[in-house]
Chains A and B, each alone.
Chain A
Amino acid sequence: MNTLKLVSKNLLRRKGRFIFTLLGITIGMAAFVALLSLSGSMQSEIRKQAAMLGANLIITPKNWCAYDQISILTGESLPESLQYEVLEKVASVDGVTAIPYLTQKTAIQNSPVLVTGMHPQETLEFKEWEIAEGSFFSAQDERAVVLGSSIANSFNLQVGDTLTIRGAQFPVIAILQATGGNDDIAVYLPLAVVQEIYEVGNYISFIAAKVDDLAQMESYEAAILDVANVAVTSDKQLLSTVLSMLGTVNMTLQLIAGVALIAAAFGIINTMMAAIYERRREIGILRAIGAKRGSIFRIFLLESGVYGLLGGLLGVVLGFVTSLIAAPLISGGDMSVLLKGATPQASLDATIVLTAIAFSLVISVAAGMYPAWKAAKLTPVEAISYE
């Protein structure tokens, strides 16, 4: 017999009550974990996209709103409102390497996919792509498509298959290696071909630029603004804009989870207080057979701790399952802007798991302090005399 055994026997004595109190904390923790997992994955997804961009600067038309800028990171198609000449002007700035993007959409098996028009060789080098199968474009205006790895996987496409875009047929000549970013979900064609089949004239959606010297970022921005009537954003600015939008949404959700947790904590306090009332005699007996106040305090505190530990563990599992279910369901309103390209996967990493369990433990132990203290305060005879 040791303290732990005593505690576990005490807890399991009233199975119904044990389960309900445990459920309270499990649900609170589950909400907490689900939100952490979803928001964590959205954040990392967006950061990843920003990194994948490979660009330090994004050049866009002046009149674009935040929605359009964010779409660059989420892999949406964008209005073609930059004239091609702008590319040449930007490229003329020393130390700047610029590539154009024209983004459109089409359907493969009735699912919308991103179609990107670009300069083949330049983009291949700029993004440091690797070819998984087939061979890349051999001419600047070859009428063929190269697929991102996810496209090939999702639709079971191989080199040699044909895609129909805007009524025209194109052979698949290559599939890119997976990059883990938005490049995987696009269908690539030479810029001129996309301009032709989508009838947009000599326009592009935006320009991605790399600079030679990161320290001189501001001077590059100024130089570009000098030669072209555009808006220039750095990838960091873009990232922080999106993250701050994500942040406000997060806050609300975390508040809700916080409330759930507090409710659970009160559930524990309530259960423990009721238990102490019922177990007065037991406490008296324990004291009579020699338990010190400290032992009583420890016993009750441990009981709360067990609720916290178990509730935390179960909450993590339940929360993870919930986020798996919730991820594809989140849609509509402002959120959809952020989530279109970055489909939230439920991601669970060690940090979240450990944080959640630790948090659960802390809350439970804190909740159990007052009841444990009250229990320890009872004098033996008070407790025993209670009929």
Chain B
Amino acid sequence: MKKIAFLMVVILAFGALAGCATGGSTKTLTINDIQTDPFSFTGEIVITGVNAGFFHDDPQVFFVVDTAELLACKDLACGAFQLPVIYEGGGGLPELGDEVVITGSWGTYRVQGQGGIEDVDIFEITKIEVKRNIMNLLQ
């Protein structure tokens, strides 16, 4: 009987520890979370989404769309909101259709627009992690 009690204590302790451990992680935001009021999120934030395509003028700039929404409508082009992001960290740029977790903060980007040069808001990535590629899930 003593051994069983000991076992139970071990299990419960493990459970409690694990519970604490998972409780303290930084919140990962989805595109859906930030798209309507992006700048209310300040400082360094972590966002997850899918690479829906690159900016033709700059291979370090791409657009991220909401993962769940993409999986539901199954077409890279249907994401109503595309978040422009830039990653200047050298290698490690994601492929088309990669689901990524990006850490960074808001910045500006100089772009050649119709009316001349303008500064647009962009998400500057400091750290990028590719989770998986979902192109085959879009069939």
Whether the complex brings A and B within 8 Å at their CB atoms is answered yes
**Chain B contacts for A333, CB-based, 8 A:** 67-68, 71
A136 to B15, CA, bound (A): 43
The answer on a CB contact under 8 Å between B7 and A19 is: yes
Least distance between B14 CB and chain A CB atoms (Å) = 8
Q: A105-B34, A110-B27, A321-B15 are known contacts. Are A337 and B68 too (CB-CB below 8 A)?
A: yes
**Residue-wise interface mask of A (314-347) relative to B, using a CB-CB cutoff of 8 A (1 in contact, 0 not):** 1001100110110011001110110010000000
Q: Which residues of A contact B73 (CB under 8 A)?
A: 65, 67
Q: Do B71 and A106 touch across chains, with their CB atoms under 8 A apart?
A: no
Chain B residues near A105 (CB, 8 Å)? 32-37
Interface of B is mostly: helix
The total of chain A residues at the interface (CB under 8 A) is: 40
Given A325-B15, A325-B19, A328-B22, A336 and B33 touching (CB < 8 A)?
A: no
* Residue A66 CB within 8 A of the other chain: yes
Contact (Cβ within 8 A) A65 B72? yes
Which residues of B are found within 8 Å of A104, using beta-carbon distances? 36-37
Q: Indicate if the CB atoms of A166 and B40 lie closer than 8 Å.
A: yes
Would you give the shortest CB distance from A262 to chain B, in whole angstroms? 22
* A2 beta carbon closer than 8 Å to chain B: no
Q: Is A310 an interface residue (CB 8 A)?
A: yes
- A129 at interface, CB cutoff 8 A: no
Contacting pair B40 A165 (CB below 8 A)? yes
Chain B residues contacting A112 (CB-CB under 8 Å) are 29, 33-34, 41
- A107: contacting residue among B16, B23, B40, CB under 8 A: B40
Q: 24 interchain pairs (CB within 8 A)?
A: A19-B3, A22-B4, A65-B72, A65-B73, A66-B72, A76-B32, A77-B32, A106-B37, A107-B42, A108-B40, A110-B27, A115-B36, A166-B40, A198-B36, A317-B12, A321-B19, A324-B15, A325-B15, A325-B19, A332-B67, A333-B67, A333-B68, A336-B68, A337-B72
13 additional A-B residue pairs with CB within 8 Å, beyond A22-B4, A107-B37: A65-B73, A67-B69, A77-B36, A104-B37, A112-B33, A112-B34, A112-B41, A317-B12, A325-B18, A328-B22, A332-B67, A336-B67, A337-B68
- Which 6 A-B residue pairings sit nearest by Cβ, starting from the closest? A321-B15, A67-B72, A112-B33, A107-B40, A106-B37, A104-B36
